[in-house]
Structure 1
Amino acid sequence: MTITRRAYLAGLAAVAAGTLAFTTPAFADTFKMGLLVPGSVSEEGWNRIGYNALKGVEKELGAQVSYVELQQNPASFEKAFRDYASQGFNVILGHGFEFQDAALDVAADYPDTVFLISSSYIHEGNVIGLNTDTSQPFYLMGYVAARMGKKAGLVGGMEIPPIQQAFEGFKNGARSVDPDFPISEAYIGNFTDTTAAKEASLSMISQGADFLVPNASGATVGGYQAIAESGGDVKTFSIFSDFTEVAPNNILGLYVADYAQGVVRVVKSIQDGEVPSWNIEFGLKDADVIKFSFRDDVENGVPADIREEVEDVKAKIAAGEIKTRNR
């Protein structure tokens, strides 16, 4: 089950115009939110972002919260959704595109529960996508890579739309500077194998990549370990969380997704009886959610002239003047 292209485009137009329609669910007195994560929340990166969002809802909205850590198993996804929904949870966040199908299978049986899916463009009934357009900050990284490097490498977890879109943004950013800028791309096939991420990164570095970005959830740290072993020769950006302790001499800047702010905003509207009728997309225009910055404490950091160029590009992306994805 997927949203049609026409409905998706109409949804984006409604979001841009600020004309979301709303419906009112029937909620119990105690507002409850559950979270499903594909791994451990103790790891810096994607899973921790989901956990921080849950804790933000607990702190700011006074909700009763719970979470479950899962492996990549669709059957366990469906069971977890059903467990929370049957216990009267008002909102359940499946933190990743891979939870979308399971939510669609369960949602019809629990019409009073809102199922939120991270990194998704879905909107069917009470299943709503919350997409952070990572192609936008990755476009900025690609721009810097092409201005400062000779060849880039991208190491992903699984070849799923959110990671593909991020890498698409990187490639478009780099090729806006140099259409022939060489970029290698590889996927390790999971989000947990730190060694595989490290080995794929080392392979790209051995083939001449002097700018590399890993994007593999819990396995991401393996990529930064490989980058750190290069000394200061390979540059990168820290994504989703702060990995500067892993590769202090290599990270030029940080893309930090304060996803909690966006999730709290959406969940509050649901708590108030207003369920968005379209998928939600956060971008560089949402400065409280997507934060992109340069480091001043790293040797051979991004020069002032390139920083100025990037700030100009960033403003144009936020204004909708530059498209970071091929859609």
Structure 2
Amino acid sequence: MMLGNAASAEGLKMGLLVPGSVSEEGWNRIGYNALKGVEEQLGAEVSYVELQQNPASFSKAFYDYASQGYHVILGHGFEFQDAALEVAEEYPDTYFLISSSDIHEGKVIGLNTDTSQPFFLMGVVAAKMGKKAGLVGGMEIPPIQQAFAGFKAGAHSVDPDFPISESYIGNFTDTTAAKESALSMIAQGADFVVPNASGATVGGYQAIAESGGDVRTFSIFSDFTEVAPNNILGLYVADYAQGVVEVVRDIQEGNSPESNVIFGLKDEKVMQFTFRDDGPVSVPEDIRAEIEEISAGIAAGNIQTYSD
């Protein structure tokens, strides 16, 4: 094991700070899954603490773990960044990983997933197979805005005039609002609709299913094929937890990240974009071949999937 100056005889130790409970499916559970992955795959000693939105408690938790000799501490959310920077001044040999962050200062390292990349591919498919697209978001937060920017960039790379409507329901729980928004887009001619609203997302797929077989979509994050079996062309999933494991594996082997980490199509263990072959709808082979080529270009850094 190579852990640089943070090495200790007892092996790798990792701590996790989450802004809430790991008992419920969602963001906090993903952080917990990352921690368990490090424990199971890398043989680490692990621990976690559930916190409320209180910056003072963030700093204390970081201090507690760092002072106990933990080599890597994951603050699972951008809100942990300032506290990590503060504590890192006293513990420069400890790695502080910060989810949803672009930071890279010493061993405070931000981790992010570029959702614009798979959405760019969806946009290309939409412009090649459809006449108009609709995007239903939860709230206007950077990850969703980035995803939709990628979709629009992909579609407009095929047809600069391809029409795309976009709406936000203002929350992540109202399935009825997501459904109504999608139905409205379909009524206005959208034949390719992608909902992206966390727990409310299923409402969008319900609307797509009720539209019959003429509206196309992709499953995102989870497989919604059972909800809309006649409409879904493929699946995008991101295993952020495994991405964290790979970063910690590099640290364990003495390969510290030289910049903030952005997971994308180049990271096959983290991001998968697949087409469906078992249903009544499918993407034609010529479009699949083109998507494969575009995906390789994105992974190589030769195609920009959205504008800052």
User: Do both proteins adopt the same fold according to a TM-score greater than 0.5, normalized to the shorter chain?
Assistant: yes
Counterparts of 1:26 and 1:105 in 2: how far apart (Å)?
Answer: 23
Provide the residue aligned with 2:271 in structure 1. Answer: 290
Change (3 A) 1:68 1:222: farther
Structure 2 unpaired stretches of 5+ = none
Partner residue of 2:16 out of 19, 28, 34: 34
Provide the residue aligned with 2:236 in structure 1. Answer: 255
- Tell me whether 1:197 sits opposite 2:178 in the alignment: yes
Shift of 1:273: 5.6
Counterparts of 1:248 and 1:66 in 2: how far apart (Å)?
Answer: 41
Q: Higher relative CO (CA 8 A, sep ≥ 6), structure 1 or 2? A: 1
Shift of 1:60: 0.5
Q: Which moved more, 1:61-70 or 1:179-188?
A: 61-70
Q: Secondary structure at the match of 1:276?
A: coil
Shift of 1:178: 1.0
Counterparts of 1:133 and 1:200 in 2: how far apart (Å)?
Answer: 25
Residue 172 of structure 1 contacts residue 325 of structure 1 at CA under 8 Å; is this kept in 2? yes
- Tell me whether 1:314 sits opposite 2:283 in the alignment: no
TM-score (norm 1): 0.79
Shift of 1:326: 1.4
Q: Secondary structure at the match of 2:87?
A: coil
Shift of 1:302: 1.0
Provide the residue aligned with 1:270 in structure 2. Answer: 251
Shift of 1:312: 1.7
Q: Which moved more, 1:191-200 or 1:286-295?
A: 191-200
Residue 59 of structure 2 contacts residue 87 of structure 2 at CA under 8 Å; is this kept in 1? no
Provide the residue aligned with 1:151 in structure 2. Answer: 132
Q: Deviations over 1:43-66 (max 9, x none)?
A: 4x6555444323211210223445
Counterparts of 1:213 and 1:78 in 2: how far apart (Å)?
Answer: 39
Counterparts of 1:208 and 1:115 in 2: how far apart (Å)?
Answer: 48
Provide the residue aligned with 2:168 in structure 1. Answer: 187
- Tell me whether 1:86 sits opposite 2:72 in the alignment: no
TM-score (norm 2): 0.83
Structure 1 unpaired stretches of 5+ = 1-21
Provide the residue aligned with 2:305 in structure 1. Answer: 324
Change (3 A) 1:172 1:126: same
Residue 78 of structure 1 contacts residue 102 of structure 1 at CA under 8 Å; is this kept in 2? no
Residue 35 of structure 1 contacts residue 51 of structure 1 at CA under 8 Å; is this kept in 2? no
Residue 82 of structure 1 contacts residue 106 of structure 1 at CA under 8 Å; is this kept in 2? no
Q: Deviations over 1:258-281 (max 9, x none)?
A: 223321111123345654342012
Matches for 1:98-137 after TM superposition, within 5 Å:
99-109=77-87, 111-112=90-91, 113-137=94-118
Shift of 1:118: 2.7
Shift of 1:249: 2.2
Query: Given residue 136 of structure 2, which amino acid in structure 1 is its aligned partner?
Result: V
Shift of 1:107: 3.6
Residue 143 of structure 1 contacts residue 176 of structure 1 at CA under 8 Å; is this kept in 2? yes
Q: Secondary structure at the match of 2:18?
A: strand
Matches for 1:57-68 after TM superposition, within 5 Å:
57-66=38-47
Q: Secondary structure at the match of 1:269?
A: helix
Q: Secondary structure at the match of 2:251?
A: helix
Residue 36 of structure 1 contacts residue 68 of structure 1 at CA under 8 Å; is this kept in 2? yes
Residue 84 of structure 2 contacts residue 96 of structure 2 at CA under 8 Å; is this kept in 1? no
Q: Deviations over 1:284-325 (max 9, x none)?
A: 122222111100012121111211121121122222222112
Change (3 A) 1:217 1:41: farther
Query: Given residue 108 of structure 1, which amino acid in structure 2 is its aligned partner?
Result: E
Query: Given residue 213 of structure 2, which amino acid in structure 1 is its aligned partner?
Result: G
Counterparts of 2:28 and 2:212 in 1: how far apart (Å)?
Answer: 28
Shift of 1:162: 2.1
Change (3 A) 1:42 1:187: same
Q: Which moved more, 1:247-256 or 1:23-32?
A: 23-32
Query: Given residue 87 of structure 2, which amino acid in structure 1 is its aligned partner?
Result: D
Provide the residue aligned with 1:12 in structure 2. Answer: none
Residue 23 of structure 1 contacts residue 273 of structure 1 at CA under 8 Å; is this kept in 2? yes
Query: Given residue 186 of structure 2, which amino acid in structure 1 is its aligned partner?
Result: I
* The structure with more radius of gyration: 2
Q: How many residues align?
A: 299
Share of identical aligned residues, percent?
67
